[in-house]
């Protein structure tokens, strides 16, 4: 090997040892007659010292000539430092170099390779291999590695088998578009890349594998949104002969195992909330439960007072911001503007200030007496010093809008601490979701999810009311995983496709293989998939998933380093039967 030790290894106990190290020149400090160099590798930084009076002149000059990011090997003696640096593990020692070999030179890097870099996003992505030399980025990938290791440890101990499923497949609907791959051999025919291994893992249950998992790449051609990756990784799992209860406890176990073994955190057992309740209390199917600020509905206490907005509203609902009663007019106006932005689309915001002196003032004083306002304040269980915000309108959209305000206030009030974790199971999702564009129902999860038996009779009369055996795990307001108990018989699966608007022919063409498999003894089964990149970023306390992926795409879906997507030659297009000339 080209080294005896790494750059993160040597300590005071190693003084007087002769060692060989190799790494990159991070930084040089030239004090005239003394020269220090920080030598870096994956494990840390070790300081090299060259003292002109005690060093051979050729060696001293060679050291001075080194540039940033040169790759060097040094032979040296470990010495105790005169001025120690307790901020770095190797800070008690430095190396008195006796031999220096330049293993490779380097061009001046386009940005500084340190924790704080001057490189902008685009530049860092173009030179991602240099960006990855930085500690802060490397540490994120190390965390990812640990997460994957611990996932395997846990699932293996639970008897799960990791099975690889194919990447060239045909469509598996998860609600996005497929990436397709043209076939050269069969012109006019295409493979699709998996949006998930959903159908294959179900087939593995028919095969009797019983407990399957895979840390697997999935591909979804979705409209670009910040922090969306067209390819991403799932911890994909499936189990047979289980109830929903078994899935919830097994995967709550996984998440708690990860918290314990990766972060040293004892996550309390994960509470459950059904979808309807989550929508009612938080206006979201992925509520951030790090803080309360639950919705309070006061519709019936607002009627008959001639305030037109509330009079005509299906729902009047609000939240109570603790300790905010003294918000200025300007602050309140700003929040009003926030909810009125087109992305949120609220018409306005009503406020009630329960002042610290006990008086109550609101923006609707003209319509409501102090007694009326008192009733509201009681409903909210507000204390002097609190500020209540109310919104009104059609129930579903009003709740969604209030959810945005709640999250913003949570941020403002410092209630969304990245180092605090609150997990929640959201259960009993609706089976179907109305789509305004296509004017039909779509599967909310995917078409293989089973309906609740007791709701089946509603499928014809009130499809939107049918609940599914589907569940999501939510941590800090982020959906980190979701799954369902599946349909495992042909007639029910066929019925489902019919309700989703497939003709019998279409269903057979796309999913005939699965329905046929159900006729050969399919066991009851269900599963879940976790978004692995997202889970890693959550554990890393970061907002973006990009740094937890070694070579990510940018927000425009491009890899600017290898420059893709890119055109291909006419030759290739012809071969694929795409260009016919």
Nearer to ligand ASP, 324 or 485 (CB): 485
Residues in the chain: 581
CA 262 centroid distance within chain: 17
- DSSP sequence for 388-402: EEEEEESHHHHHHHH
Contact window for ligand ASP (CB under 6 A) among 3-11, 131-139, 318-326, 478-486: 478-486
Nearer to ligand ASP, 66 or 517 (CB): 517
Nearer to ligand ASP, 119 or 482 (CB): 482
Among 391, 528, 535, 549, binds ligand ASP (CB under 6 A): 528
Among 23, 318, 393, 527, binds ligand ASP (CB under 6 A): 527
198 near ligand ASP (CB under 6 A)? yes
CA distance 371 to 190: 69
Burial of 308 (0-12, 13-18, 19+ CB in 10 A): exposed
Nearer to ligand ASP, 451 or 483 (CB): 483
Contact window for ligand ASP (CB under 6 A) among 50-58, 137-145, 363-371, 522-530: 522-530
Least distance CB 498 / ligand ASP (angstroms): 21
Nearer to ligand ASP, 230 or 483 (CB): 483
Q: Pick from 403, 401, 392, 394: which is nearest to 316 by CA?
A: 392
360-362 sheet: strands from edge to edge: 296-297, 315-321, 386-393, 350-354, 360-362
484 near ligand ASP (CB under 6 A)? yes
Least distance CB 527 / ligand ASP (angstroms): 4
State the alpha helices, DSSP H only, in 5-162: 57-64, 121-126, 128-131, 135-157
Strand locations in 195-263, DSSP E?
A: 211-219, 231-240
CA distance 514 to 250: 26
Contact window for ligand ASP (CB under 6 A) among 42-50, 272-280, 497-505, 525-533: 525-533
Among 483, 522, 538, 553, binds ligand ASP (CB under 6 A): 483
Least distance CB 278 / ligand ASP (angstroms): 18
**Using an 8 Å Cβ cutoff, are 321 and 413 in contact?**
yes
- Other CB atoms closer than 10 Å to residue 407's CB: what's the count? 20
Least distance CB 182 / ligand ASP (angstroms): 25
Site string for ligand ASP, 15-54 (x = CB under 6 A): ----------------------------------------
Q: Pick from 168, 223, 228, 225: which is nearest to 197 by CA?
A: 168
Contact window for ligand ASP (CB under 6 A) among 5-13, 74-82, 313-321, 479-487: 479-487
Residues binding ligand ASP: what is the number (CB under 6 A)?
9
- Dig out the tokens for 259 from the structure: 């918290």
Least distance CB 238 / ligand ASP (angstroms): 7
Least distance CB 522 / ligand ASP (angstroms): 16
CA distance 359 to 370: 9
Least distance CB 332 / ligand ASP (angstroms): 40
Least distance CB 102 / ligand ASP (angstroms): 50
Kindly report the three-state secondary structure assignment for every residue of 473-484.
EEECCEEEEEEE
Angle between the 532-539 and 135-157 helix axes, to the nearest 10 degrees?
120
Least distance CB 564 / ligand ASP (angstroms): 25
Nearer to ligand ASP, 196 or 510 (CB): 196
Pairing label, strands 272-274, 423-427: parallel
Q: Pick from 104, 42, 120, 20: which is nearest to 69 by CA?
A: 104
Among 485, 529, 545, 549, binds ligand ASP (CB under 6 A): 529
250 near ligand ASP (CB under 6 A)? no
Contact window for ligand ASP (CB under 6 A) among 117-125, 324-332, 434-442, 476-484: 476-484
Report how far apart, in Å, the C-alpha atoms of 396 and of each of 285, 308, 571 are: 12, 20, 53
Pairing label, strands 211-219, 71-80: unpaired
404 near ligand ASP (CB under 6 A)? no
Contact window for ligand ASP (CB under 6 A) among 123-131, 369-377, 481-489, 490-498: 481-489
Among 38, 92, 174, 533, binds ligand ASP (CB under 6 A): 174
Q: Residue 80 contacts by C-beta under 8 Å, 6 or more apart in sequence?
A: 12, 15, 92, 93
196 near ligand ASP (CB under 6 A)? yes
Least distance CB 173 / ligand ASP (angstroms): 10
CA distance 312 to 295: 20
482 near ligand ASP (CB under 6 A)? yes
- Residues binding ligand ASP (CB under 6 A): 174, 196, 198, 482-484, 527-529
């Amino acid at each position: 090997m080209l080294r005896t030790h790494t750059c993160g290894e040597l300590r005071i106990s190693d003084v007087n040892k002769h060692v060989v190290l190799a790494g990159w020149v991070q930084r040089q400090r030239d004090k005239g007659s003394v020269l220090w160099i920080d030598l870096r590798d994956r494990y840390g930084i070790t300081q090299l010292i060259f003292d002109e009076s005690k060093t051979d002149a050729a060696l001293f000059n060679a050291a001075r000539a080194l540039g940033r990011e040169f790759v060097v090997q040094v032979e040296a003696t470990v010495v105790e430092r005169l001025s120690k640096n307790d901020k770095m593990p190797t800070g008690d020692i430095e190396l008195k170099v006796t031999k220096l070999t330049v293993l490779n030179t380097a061009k001046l890097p386009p940005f500084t390779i340190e924790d704080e870099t001057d490189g902008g996003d685009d530049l860092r992505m173009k030179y991602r291999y240099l960006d990855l030399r930085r500690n802060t980025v490397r540490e994120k990938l190390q965390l990812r590695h640990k997460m994957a290791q611990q996932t395997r440890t846990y699932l293996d101990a639970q008897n799960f088998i990791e099975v690889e499923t194919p990447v060239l497949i045909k469509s598996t609907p998860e609600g996005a578009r497929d990436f397709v791959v043209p076939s050269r051999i069969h012109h006019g025919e295409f493979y699709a890349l998996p949006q998930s291994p959903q159908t294959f893992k179900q087939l593995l249950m028919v095969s009797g594998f019983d407990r399957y998992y895979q840390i697997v790449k999935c591909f979804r051609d979705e409209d670009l949104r910040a922090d969306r990756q067209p390819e991403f990784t799932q911890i994909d799992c499936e189990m047979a002969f289980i109830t929903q209860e078994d899935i919830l406890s097994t995967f709550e176990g996984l998440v708690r195992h990860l918290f314990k073994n990766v972060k040293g955190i004892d996550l309390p057992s994960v509470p459950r909330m059904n979808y309807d309740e989550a929508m009612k209390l938080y206006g979201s199917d992925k509520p951030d439960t790090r803080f309360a600020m639950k919705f309070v509905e006061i519709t019936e206490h607002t009627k008959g007072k001639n305030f037109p907005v509330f009079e005509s509203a299906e729902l009047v609902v609000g939240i109570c911001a603790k300790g905010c009663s003294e918000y200025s007019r300007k602050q309140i106006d700003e929040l009003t503007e926030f909810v009125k932005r087109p992305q949120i689309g609220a018409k306005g915001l009503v406020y009630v200030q329960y002042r610290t002196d006990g008086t109550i003032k609101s923006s609707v004083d003209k319509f409501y007496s102090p007694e009326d306002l008192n009733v509201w304040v009681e409903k909210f269980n507000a204390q002097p010093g609190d500020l209540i915000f109310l919104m009104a309108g059609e129930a579903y959209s009003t709740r969604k809008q209030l959810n945005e305000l709640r999250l913003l206030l949570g941020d403002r009030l410092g209630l969304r601490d990245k180092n605090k974790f609150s997990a929640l199971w959201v259960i009993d999702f609706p089976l179907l979701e109305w789509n305004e564009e296509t004017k039909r129902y779509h599967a909310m999860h995917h078409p293989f999810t089973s309906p609740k038996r007791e709701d089946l009779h509603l499928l014809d009369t009130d499809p939107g009311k049918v609940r599914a055996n589907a569940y999501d795990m939510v941590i800090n307001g982020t959906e980190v995983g979701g799954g369902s108990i599946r349909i495992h018989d042909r007639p029910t699966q066929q019925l489902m496709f019919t309700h989703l608007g497939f003709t019998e022919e279409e269903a057979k063409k796309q999913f005939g293989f699965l329905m046929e498999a159900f006729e050969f003894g399919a066991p009851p089964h269900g599963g879940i998939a976790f978004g692995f990149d997202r889970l890693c970023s959550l554990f890393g306390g970061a907002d973006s998933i990009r740094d937890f992926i070694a070579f990510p795409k940018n927000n425009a879906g491009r890899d600017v380093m290898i420059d893709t997507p890119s055109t291909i030659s006419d030759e290739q297009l012809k071969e694929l039967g795409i260009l016919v000339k």
